Amino acid sequence: MNEPHFMDELLEEIEQQENLQSEAYCDIVLAEIASLETKIQDTFTLAEEEQTLIQDFALRRTSKLQERIDFLSRKLESYLRESGNRTLSLPHGAIKIRKKQDKVEISDMQEFLLHASPQMLNTIPEQAKPDIAGIKSWIKMTGGKLPPGVRIIEGQESFSYKLKDNTNGTDTTDEA
């Protein structure tokens, strides 16, 4: 009777060793996974740092180029204003000075609503809102007379240039 008991103990001991080895193996696998996840995170962190360096480089370089473009654009604007021309077409593009539209601003809504004609309002049930296009039309029809509560913000002149792109036949425009 001692023999089966001895064999059972031996089998049980072997099973315990296998379980210990399996648990040790699983622990080693988990440690490896943790190490790999750390490497993945380190890779993303390094990539973000590299992207930041590249973006900073690009910003520094393009800001210098943009400063040069702005300088040259101001020289073109100055030349055009001194020449008295409003537009100048050249082989590589065109330069222009245009006056922007005047803006209508409601400075006193109560005063405006008291004197506004129906053509100067967009009426939505239980609500009246200024119709800027209607107000502009009314000002033109009355020879420049402003309705009470309205003021005009005069449009400013703006300079722009338009480049001819020789590579694909399209034009690019930049307003300064």
Q: pLDDT tens across 91-146, in order?
A: 988 999 888 888 888 888 888 888 888 888 777 777 777 888 888 888 888 888 88
pLDDT above 90 covers a percentage of the chain that reads 29
- Tell me which of 133 and 67 has the higher pLDDT: 67
pLDDT of residue 175: 62
pLDDT of residue 172: 54
CA distances from 102 to 37, 85, 112, 136, 156 (A): 61, 22, 18, 9, 8
pLDDT of residue 1: 46
On average, the pLDDT of the chain sits at: 83
